[in-house]
Amino acid sequence: MQSLMQLLKRKPETHKGSYGQVLVVGGSPGLTGAVCLCAQAALRIGAGLVKVAVAESLHSIFEIKLTEEMSIPLADKKGHLSAKAFKTIERSLDKVSVLVLGPGAGLHPATQKLVIKIIKKVDKPLVIDADGLNILSLSLKVLKKNNNQNIVLTPHLGEFSRLVKKKIRQIKENRKELAKNFALRYNLNLALKGHRTLVTNGKMVFENDTGNPAMATAGTGDVLSGMIAGLIAQGINSYEATKLGVHLHGLAGDLAAQEKTQSCVVASDLINYLPQAIKKLPV
């Protein structure tokens, strides 16, 4: 209840530091929009400060595309994040509440090394999405070596198929058990996206009832990862933040589809309809 009230009304004597800081790590040539959608969603849902850590050679693009969000240039190889960027990220972690890892990151070998190193070394809450998941599927053992209990994965069926090494048909036939077992085995929180998205921490399972086919459009997953990170930044625990983020994400999609029709919704509409969705939360 307290977390819901915080989204609706803040205490008078607060500042941006009271609502946490999100760091989004990602982006690559041709995939800059993913980072921007993620960062904007985190800020819109209430994070006090959002930074994007992006390839130095693409930095000027983000400086133009983003206004309220800040940016950190990272070492790269022709626009792809390099493992050498880890030192810069590490120096930025003191005030960071949560990291989003993967939107638009690409699968360059140098980027893969960086992503795995972040998962190994960083003990802050992590929201891993998109190419972060694809990289993780190539080296799942890194999760066994990590004691971080505040990891959130947000795969769609294709990404989850790569993580569990099973066909999508098999997953659809046994969604709840596979999702729950995976979350329990690796001690993390999982949002298995799709019709009636599942959220589980390996013990409890929440089945979402918001959302519609209008959300089957590029970038909506980036919006969700940003929303979840923004909620975690504000002090909501990772499992509850994932549940609430999934619910609000779908509700914003429902509100957008009501006005724009299911064919005309784009990912940024979910960010724009988020305030209306939050107003509908029961308190």
| Domains of the chain by start residue, with CATH | 20-279 (3.40.1190.20)
Can you tell me the distance from the alpha carbon of 143 to that of 19, in angstroms, rounded to the nearest whole number? Answer: 28
Can you tell me the distance from the alpha carbon of 228 to that of 170, in angstroms, rounded to the nearest whole number? Answer: 28
Q: What is the pLDDT of residue 3?
A: 60
Q: What is the pLDDT of residue 148?
A: 72
Q: Is 81 helix (H, G, I), strand (E, B) or coil?
A: strand
- CA neighbours within 13 Å on the CB side: how many for 6? 20
Q: What is the pLDDT of residue 4?
A: 67
Q: Say if residues 154 and 134 touch (Cβ distance below 8 Å).
A: no
Residue type for position 59? H
Strand partners, 192: 198
Can you tell me the distance from the alpha carbon of 24 to that of 165, in angstroms, rounded to the nearest whole number? Answer: 28
Pairing label, strands 205-207, 80-81 = unpaired
- CA neighbours within 13 Å on the CB side: how many for 110? 16
Can you tell me the distance from the alpha carbon of 232 to that of 19, in angstroms, rounded to the nearest whole number? Answer: 9
Give the distance from CA 136 to its chain's centroid. Answer: 15
Q: What is the pLDDT along the chain (283 residues), one digit of tens a residue?
A: 446 666 778 889 999 999 999 999 999 999 999 999 999 999 999 999 999 999 999 999 999 999 999 999 999 999 999 999 999 999 999 999 999 999 999 999 999 999 999 999 999 999 999 999 999 999 999 988 666 779 999 999 999 999 999 999 999 999 999 999 999 999 999 999 999 999 999 999 999 999 999 999 999 999 999 999 999 999 999 999 999 999 999 999 999 999 999 999 999 999 999 999 999 988 6
Can you tell me the distance from the alpha carbon of 265 to that of 253, in angstroms, rounded to the nearest whole number? Answer: 8
Q: Is 12 exposed, middle or buried (0-12, 13-18, 19+ CB in 10 A)?
A: exposed
Q: In degrees, to the nearest 5, what angle opens at C-alpha 257 toward C-alphas 252 and 102?
A: 50
Q: Say if residues 217 and 180 touch (Cβ distance below 8 Å).
A: no
DSSP letter for 138, please. T
DSSP letter for 74, please. E
Q: What is the pLDDT of residue 31?
A: 96
